[in-house]
Every structure is written in C-alpha cells, then in structure tokens.
Amino acid sequence: MAWDFSTEPEFEAQLDWMRNFVRSEVWPLETVFGDLGEDGFRRAIEPLQAQVKERGLWAAHLPPDLGGQGFGQVKLGLMHEILGTSPFAPVVFGNQAPDSGNSEILALAGTEDQKERWLHPLLAGEKRSAFSMTEPGVAGSDPTTLRTTAVPEGDDWVLNGHKWFTSNGSVADFLIVMAVTDPEAHRYQRASMFIVPADAPGVRILRDVPTMEHPQEHFGRYGGHSEILYEDVRLPADALLGPRGAGFLIAQQRLGPGRIHHCMRWLGVSRRAFDMLCERALAREAHGSRLADKQTVQNWIADSAAEMQAARLMTLHAAWKMDREGAAAARTEIGLIKFYGARVLHDVIDRALQVHGALGYSTDLPLEQMYRYARAARIYDGPDEVHRQSVARQLLRGYDPPADGVPSEHVPTRREAARARFAELLEAVTSND
Ligand SMILES: Cc1cc2nc3c(=O)[nH]c(=O)nc-3n(C[C@H](O)[C@H](O)[C@H](O)COP(=O)(O)OP(=O)(O)OC[C@H]3O[C@@H](n4cnc5c(N)ncnc54)[C@H](O)[C@@H]3O)c2cc1C
C-alpha cells in the first residue's frame, strides 16, 4: 500500500525555510518594484539569490549534473506552491518562466556546445531567455499553422517571421524560436527550434505589448510580452536546437512539467487571496454581524477551500504520475489541472476581491493585480477550450458506442437479461406466494 500524503521531514524543513524566506524577503519587493527599475531590482535580488544557492535550492528543476537539485515534479510542485505567492520569488530561486522551461529544452535537446554557450550562463543567472512561438496572424492554439520559416542557405539558415507575446523577449539575451523548416512534412514534423541571439542582425523587437496585467506601455522590463520581427536573420547550422522537424515534440516535453509548475504557483496565489478573504471576513461588520457570519461568505470560504484542495491533489497526482511514468503518460492529468487550476485561481481571487468591496478593487491591495494576472492563465500554455477538448478526446478513447445502439445501462434491457439469468430463483421466490 504505497499511497502517502506526507512530506519527508528534511524536505518539509526546506519548505518551511522557503515559506519564511519568500514572505519576509521577497514579498516586500513587490511594493517597490516600480521604483527600483530593472537595475535596482537586479541588485536587490542578488543577495537573496546567493542565500538560495547556499541553501541548495537554486535551479531545482534541473538534474544535479547541470547544477540543479533533480527534485522531480512532486517536490518541485510543493516548492512552486510557495514561490507562486509572489511574482518575484521564482527569479530569486533561479526557476522563473520562461528561463526554467528553456533550460529544460536546452538540457533535453542541446548539444554540448549549446549547453556550454547558452544553458550554463542561463542557469548561473548571467543570461536571460525567451520562447518565441506565438504569431499574431495565426491561431496560437494550433501551432501547426505557424508561418515563420527557416530556410537553409549554404551552411546557414535564414529566418523570417512575425511573433508576439514572446515573454521577456525585450530583456532576453537569446530567443528560442519555433520556425517551419519542412513545410511538406507531416504537420507535427514541420517545425524546428532555433537558438537566436537577441542582438543578431534582423531581430527587431518592436514593443512590449501592453496587457491586462501591465496596461501601461513600457519597454525592456522583466515580465513584458514582446512583439518581434525576424527579418532575414542569418543563423549558423549550430543554431538548430534538437533534430530538424522535432520542434513540436520538444515543445510537448517542455510544456508538461511547466504546466504542473504553473498550477502549483496558481495555488500559491490562490492561498494568499484566500488568507485575505478569511482575514477580511473576520474583521468587517455589516448589517449587524461580521461578514464571516453571513452564509454567502461562509460558502465562499468553504467552496474555495474545497476547490483549492481538489486542484492541489489533482496537481500533485499529475506530478507523481509524471515522476513515475513520464510526461506522455500523464497527459490527461496535466490537461485536467491546466483548465481546472486556472478556474480555481480565478474564482478564489474573485471572491477575495468581492469580500473587500471597493478596497478589493483598489490598488491598495494586491487583489486587483492578482485578478488581472489570473485571467491570462486561461489562455497561455493552451486555452482552456483546447485542454478540455484534448482531455475529452483522450477519455473517449476508452469508450465504444454500443454495438446495438442501446445504452449499456438501459434498465429494461438489463432487466430482461437479469430475468433470464435469475429465472430459477425468481420462479422459486414467486412460487412461495
Ligand atoms: C501572459 C501571456 C504570456 C504568453 N507567453 C508566451 C510566450 O512566452 N511565448 C509564446 O510563444 N507565446 C506566449 N503566449 C501566447 C499564448 O501561448 C497564446 O496566446 C495561446 O496559445 C493562444 O493563442 P492565440 O492567442 O493565438 O489564440 P487563438 O489560437 O486565436 O485562440 C483564441 C480562442 O479561440 C478558442 N479556441 C481555440 N481553439 C479552440 C478549440 N479547439 N475549441 C474551442 N475553442 C477554441 C479559445 O477560446 C481561445 O482562447 C502568451 C500569452 C499570454 C496571455
């Protein structure tokens, strides 16, 4: 009997340390980030990063031979639940998106030279990266429609295309770009990945797209989502990352763990909002009693707790399955948590915001910012609808329509079969009358 919901004491001690550290050292940065600027922020986090390294928690997503801790997805998940409480904690721990996912790609598909040149500096925090796949002109939820191309010319490749929502594109030292190299191949084997230095001639970073989360126009700041033109960018042969035509395959391997980490980070945010919900419910009085005494608010608290617990167990289960059987085996579980977790995140923050009334809507609390952040979770790494569709398709593979068209649970049909099966017994029972 191997089911076990406990955490080993040594790791629990690490989690305790992370909880205290993130709350006391990282949360305060949130309120002065705007004043610090890019350079000031880097200076503020350097000593914190040093403490994380000393504690052996730096870049924990990678195996030890690459300077990580090789935690596996369950431990990483528990860790991300804590880091998710602040947008700045992942960077302090060396596993912020998209660098963490990109380092996984480089570890998985990179040559020794590519690892030396790009992965090691990325892990050391000396370089930053971005992942450039989505294009404004075609549906990002169906990347087989990509239009960006990389065409061989002599020993080089020539890259042309228009991307957007390349997170951290304007602060990255290099971009991992998905481009079509084999337009005639099977649709999942048409694209390849390339490592593109951000200063390569022909890379034009047009802007950071203002979003719900960051509505003000700004450029060149951590967390921006860049629109980029690649115009006749000439790349050497060794810019190809992984085998030609393997772009989607590598992307799938990267996205599985990334989705688990996202879901656990969302639970960290949800928990923070939930704590605020409970605190306010106890403190505020209206219509003769505390908000905590109103049944609607009690329902919000109970529903939020139940949904967070469900999402947490689903996510840790997906992580456990991935650790034991690999990302492909955990595909359905990962699809489930991606859309379920995004909804829980949204709903818990929404209730916490509502219980605070005008204060929740104001920027005096972080809830409105969390709410705007939460909305994107239903879109990036695949919109909800695509995950639902893919989960449903996988589940349907385990079913067949009934051969005779009659539902297999049809009661009159089952009754007839049962009557035939128990005919003797039924006869005996009725003849006793
Ligand atoms: C905050 C944020 C960060 C991002 N970071 C990156 C990044 O770093 N790199 C990168 O390459 N991309 C990034 N993206 C882009 C993201 O991956 C895409 O937005 C996403 O894949 C959806 O593509 P799209 O925006 O083109 O929407 P579309 O593909 O046009 O889809 C629009 C809508 O159509 C509906 N839809 C689509 N397919 C189906 C279906 N099968 N059934 C029913 N409805 C459907 C859904 O409601 C969907 O929201 C980011 C996006 C956001 C919001």
Q: Are 79 and 72 in contact (CB under 8 A)?
A: no
By C-alpha distance, which of 120, 72, 85 is closest to 99? 120
Distance CA 356, CA 276 (A): 9
**Average pLDDT for 118-141:** 94
Please, which pLDDT band fits residue 34 given cuts at 50, 70 and 90? confident
- CA atoms within 13 Å, Cβ hemisphere of 94: 32
Kindly give the distance from the C-alpha atom of residue 175 to the centroid of ligand 1, in angstroms, as a whole number: 19
Q: Which atom of ligand 1 is nearest to the CA of 378?
A: 49
Q: Judge if the beta carbon of residue 96 lies within 6 A of ligand 1.
A: no
Q: Which atom of ligand 1 is nearest to the CA of 163?
A: 11
Pocket test for ligand 1, best of 131, 380, 387, 389 (most atoms within 8 A of CB): 380
Kindly give the distance from the C-alpha atom of residue 410 to the centroid of ligand 1, in angstroms, as a whole number: 41
**Average pLDDT for 175-182:** 98
Please, which pLDDT band fits residue 433 given cuts at 50, 70 and 90? low
The answer on pLDDT for 69 being more than 80 is no
Distance CA 375, CA 393 (A): 25
Question: What is the SS3 string spanning 319-386?
Answer: HHHHHHHCCCCCHHHHHHHHHHHHHHHHHHHHHHHHHCCHHHHCCCCCHHHHHHHHHHCCCCCCCHHH
Kindly give the distance from the C-alpha atom of residue 224 to the centroid of ligand 1, in angstroms, as a whole number: 16
Q: Which atom of ligand 1 is nearest to the CA of 213?
A: 1
Tokens of 308: 């967070």
**Average pLDDT for 138-152:** 96
Distance CA 75, CA 161 (A): 39
Tokens of 223: 């967390």
Phi, psi for 311 (deg, rounded to 5): -65, -40
* Cβ atoms within 10 Å, residue 398: 7
pLDDT at 331: 93
Place of tokens 């598909």: 109
The model's pTM: 0.93
Q: Judge if the beta carbon of residue 133 lies within 6 A of ligand 1.
A: yes
pLDDT tens readout for residues 52-61: 999 999 988 8
The answer on pLDDT for 431 being more than 90 is no
pLDDT tens readout for residues 147-171: 999 999 999 999 999 999 999 999 9
The answer on pLDDT for 284 being more than 70 is yes
Place of tokens 């042309």: 160
**Average pLDDT for 211-220:** 89
Of all residues in the chain, the percent with pLDDT exceeding 70 is 99
Query: Whose C-alpha lies nearest to ligand 1, atom 33?
Result: 383
pLDDT at 327: 86
Q: Which atom of ligand 1 is nearest to the CA of 167?
A: 8
The answer on pLDDT for 122 being more than 80 is yes
pLDDT at 222: 82
Distance CA 157, CA 340 (A): 41
Distance CA 42, CA 29 (A): 11
Amino acid at 255: L
Q: Judge if the beta carbon of residue 161 lies within 6 A of ligand 1.
A: no
pLDDT at 432: 65
The answer on pLDDT for 223 being more than 90 is no
**Average pLDDT for 101-111:** 92
List of residues 6+ apart from 105 with CB closer than 8 A: 176, 193, 241, 242, 250, 253, 254
Q: Is the peptide bond before 143 cis (omega within 30 degrees of 0)?
A: no
The b/e string for 15-46 (b: 16+ C-beta within 10 A; e otherwise) is: eeebeebbeebbeebeeebeeeeeeebeebbe
Query: Whose C-alpha lies nearest to ligand 1, atom 17?
Result: 380
pLDDT at 392: 98
Q: Are 259 and 333 in contact (CB under 8 A)?
A: no
Phi, psi for 285 (deg, rounded to 5): -110, 140
